[in-house]
């Protein structure tokens, strides 16, 4: 290739211009330059096709509309040739030169001086930088060479078409013909790839769901059975094997590439077991009953404020959607823990779902500070409801990422619930006494929690939490209660085969340890094990067993066993 370039350059100044025309490919002053912008863009996209870019995090840039050439270099510069990013100015910064003397870094003693002079003065094919330089020593790829040569051929055709063929000598035409034959394969390949890209782009634009919204979903089909005696009354459980399903559709919209507007539709008919077992401790993590009617389950808008903060405005969401919960291997209801309590600390369930705001300061740093406010009855104007008069949870959290593998945090939340919202301090986890320690009476509580997550290698994750709450009755005689809970979990990723996960959770659900009214007499223990088999990228089957010892923190109650088979389809 080098020998060919040297001989070609001695034969004709045209080839020298083609070598350097990749600079001119970004200029927009003439039609030929505009053609080169398209060709050069296609060339770099072909380079990206050979070397795929790495995946980014937060909101996929694919949510945004198709970028222009300039925005493509700005947004996805890891996919563009480094020379384009570091040296190429904006397209309107190049200027046409009419004399080679205008290029300060080109001297008459340069070996290519005559070639440049011919291209400038005879063909008008050269553009320089605003600082008066040409930067002729810059390396170029074979694709860029083909693009520059193609533009030069177009220029010659233009001169012929405009009756200025006298400027094109017979020797030039012979050389151009020889170059066309030599680079026919490269030019054909380039044009073929551009045509293929244009066809693919046209098909995507014609069939895309939206230029700003990505649709994804999850369907769970579950079969479960319960064994043992009911926690209330001690009678044998007459529980038939049941099957149900839950379907979710997420419409994830981004207007700038880093923000996220989520609208989730949900429908399901999976029973929560509590009515039959006499305790919410047996609840599954994915149970939902809407009588198969579609409802809006999540609705929030999340956006960054530079790199300093991540803000979420919620119309209908819980605390867990806007905060880090320290239990990444178990938090997903479709892929993680099979139980409700095993998903995350109960401190994140003190609010229920509602309208509110959450803010995470320094979200990418080793130390983050978070705050959140959720009002479950914010949309109701009746007495005892609304944003400020109704139920609410205000939460603050600090998290320390001590290394890439270990994160620890502390959380405080203050909650208020009344008869309008219903009394359920821990979101149906723990004993009935812990969720409503004073009955159906307005209650305020202070919640304190510590959480931690440790990743050992690529396969083992350890996480856990402990929580302590103090509750006070706001109606009737003065009454208070202290509540405690904890759990530890272990997850083995890629256990057995890639994509599979073995999970174990053990802990104590919320329990009233001291109260002026009633304490829980004994201690319940929560034990669950599950094994997720990843059949394909989009289908998994998870058999699991949940065991509740001393349900409702009462030794008089026999152990309850819950067996389940969860099949999850994601798309």
pLDDT by residue, tens only, the chain of 571 residues? 434 334 443 334 444 344 334 333 333 333 333 333 333 333 333 323 333 333 323 333 333 333 333 322 222 223 222 222 233 333 334 566 677 778 888 888 888 788 878 777 777 677 677 777 887 787 777 776 776 677 677 777 777 666 554 555 677 777 777 887 888 888 888 888 888 998 988 888 777 778 899 999 999 999 999 988 777 655 566 778 999 999 999 999 999 989 999 999 999 999 988 888 999 999 999 999 999 999 999 999 999 999 999 999 999 999 999 999 999 999 999 999 999 999 999 999 999 899 999 999 999 999 999 999 999 999 999 989 999 999 999 999 999 999 989 999 999 999 999 999 999 999 999 999 999 999 999 999 999 999 999 999 999 999 999 999 999 999 999 999 999 999 999 999 999 999 999 999 999 999 999 999 999 999 999 999 999 999 999 999 999 999 999 999 999 999 999 999 999 999 9
**Domain end point (choices 156, 191, 207):** 207
HEC letters along 240-297? CCEEEEEEEEEEEECCCCCCEEEEEEEEEEECCCHHHHCCHHHCECCCEECCCCCEEE
Residues 426 and 449 in one domain: yes
Whole domain around residue 335: which residue ranges? 213-570
Residues 217 and 192 in one domain: no
Structural domains in the chain (count): 2
**Domain end point (choices 189, 207, 225):** 207
CB atoms within 10 A of CB 524: 27
Residues 469 and 564 in one domain: yes
Q: How far is CA 464 from the centre of its chain?
A: 25
Q: How far apart are CA 357 and CA 352, in angstroms?
A: 14
Q: How far apart are CA 46 and CA 99, in angstroms?
A: 35
Contact 422, 384 (CB under 8 A): no
Residues 217 and 186 in one domain: no
Q: How far apart are CA 158 and CA 35, in angstroms?
A: 13
Q: How far apart are CA 94 and CA 452, in angstroms?
A: 56
> What is the residue whose two structure tokens read 């790495």?
54
Q: Which residues pair with 205 in a beta bridge?
A: none
**Domain end point (choices 186, 207, 228):** 207
Instruction: List, in order, residues 6 or more apart from 311 with CB less than 8 Å away.
Output: 302, 303, 304, 305, 357, 358, 359, 360
* Helix, strand, coil percent content, the chain, rounded in steps of 5: 30, 35, 35
Torsion-angle region of 523 (φ positive above 0: left; ψ -120 to 50: alpha; else: beta) = beta
pLDDT one-digit tens code per residue, 521-539: 999 999 999 999 999 999 9
Residues 406 and 537 in one domain: yes
Q: How far apart are CA 180 and CA 372, in angstroms?
A: 66
Torsion-angle region of 196 (φ positive above 0: left; ψ -120 to 50: alpha; else: beta) = alpha
Residues 220 and 198 in one domain: no
> In the structure encoding, which two tokens stand for residue 313, read together?
């405005």
Q: How far apart are CA 352 and CA 335, in angstroms?
A: 22
- Name the 3-class secondary structure at 561: strand
Q: Which residues pair with 220 in a beta bridge?
A: 246, 568
Which spans in 423-544 are helix H?
Answer: 432-435
| pLDDT on residue 415 | 97
Q: Buried (b) or exposed (e) across 162-175, using 16+ Cβ within 10 A?
A: eeeeeebeeebeeb
> In the structure encoding, which two tokens stand for residue 414, read together?
């203050």
CATH number for the domain that contains residue 404:
2.40.160.10
Residues 433 and 491 in one domain: yes
Residues 251 and 371 in one domain: yes
Q: How far is CA 463 from the centre of its chain?
A: 22
Residues 400 and 304 in one domain: yes
Residues 338 and 219 in one domain: yes
Residues 178 and 251 in one domain: no
Residues 381 and 440 in one domain: yes
């Amino acid at each position: 290739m080098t020998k060919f370039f040297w001989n070609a350059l001695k034969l004709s100044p045209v080839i020298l211009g083609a070598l350097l025309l990749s600079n001119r490919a970004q200029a927009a002053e003439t039609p030929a330059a505009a053609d080169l912008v398209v060709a050069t863009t296609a060339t770099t996209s072909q380079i990206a096709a050979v070397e795929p870019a790495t995946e980014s995090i937060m909101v996929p840039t694919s949510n945004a509309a198709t970028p222009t050439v300039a925005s493509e270099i700005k947004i996805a510069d890891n996919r563009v040739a480094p020379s384009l990013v570091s040296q190429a100015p904006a397209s309107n910064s190049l200027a046409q030169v009419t004399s080679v003397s205008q290029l300060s870094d080109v001297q008459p003693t340069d070996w290519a001086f005559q070639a440049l002079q011919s291209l400038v003065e005879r063909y008008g094919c050269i553009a320089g930088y605003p600082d008066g330089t040409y930067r002729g020593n810059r390396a170029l790829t074979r694709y860029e060479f083909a693009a520059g040569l193609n533009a030069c051929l177009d220029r010659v055709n233009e001169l012929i078409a405009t009756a200025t063929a006298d400027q094109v000598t017979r020797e030039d035409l012979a050389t151009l013909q020889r170059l066309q034959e030599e680079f026919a394969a490269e030019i054909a390949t380039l044009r073929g790839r551009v045509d293929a890209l244009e066809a693919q782009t046209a098909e995507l634009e014609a069939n895309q769901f939206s230029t700003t919204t990505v649709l994804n979903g999850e369907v769970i089909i579950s079969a479960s059975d319960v064994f043992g005696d009911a926690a209330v009354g001690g009678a044998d459980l007459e529980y038939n094997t049941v099957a149900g399903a839950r379907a979710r559709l997420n419409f994830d919209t981004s207007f700038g590439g880093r923000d996220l507007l989520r609208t989730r539709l949900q429908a399901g008919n999976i029973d929560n077991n509590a009515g039959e077992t006499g305790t919410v401790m047996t609840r599954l993590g994915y149970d939902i009953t809407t009588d198969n009617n579609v409802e809006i389950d999540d609705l929030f808008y999340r956006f960054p404020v530079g790199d300093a903060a991540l803000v979420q405005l919620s119309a209908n969401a819980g605390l867990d959607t806007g905060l880090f919960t320290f239990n990444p291997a178990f938090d997903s209801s479709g892929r993680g823990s099979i139980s409700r309590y095993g998903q995350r600390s109960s401190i994140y369930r003190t609010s229920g779902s509602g309208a509110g705001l959450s803010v995470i300061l320094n979200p990418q740093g080793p130390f983050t500070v978070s705050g959140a406010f959720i009002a479950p009855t914010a949309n109701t104007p009746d007495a005892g409801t609304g944003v400020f008069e109704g139920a609410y949870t205000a939460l603050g959290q600090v998290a320390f990422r001590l290394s890439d593998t270990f994160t620890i945090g502390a959380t405080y939340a203050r909650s208020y619930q009344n008869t309008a919202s219903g009394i359920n301090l821990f979101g149906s986890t723990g004993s009935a006494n812990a969720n409503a320690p004073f009955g159906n009476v307005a209650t305020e509580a202070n919640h304190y929690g510590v959480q931690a997550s440790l990743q050992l290698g690529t396969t083992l994750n350890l996480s856990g939490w402990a929580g302590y709450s103090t509750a006070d009755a706001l109606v009737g005689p003065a009454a208070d209660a202290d509540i405690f809970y904890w759990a530890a979990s272990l997850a083995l990723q890629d256990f057995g085969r890639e994509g599979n996960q073995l999970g174990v959770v053990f802990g104590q659900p919320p329990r009233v340890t001291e109260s002026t009214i009633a304490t829980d007499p004994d201690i319940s223990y929560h034990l669950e094990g599950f094994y997720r088999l990843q059949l394909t990228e989009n289908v998994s089957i998870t058999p699991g067993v949940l065991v509740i010892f001393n349900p409702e923190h009462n030794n008089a109650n026999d152990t309850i066993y819950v067996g389940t088979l969860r099949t999850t389809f994601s798309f």
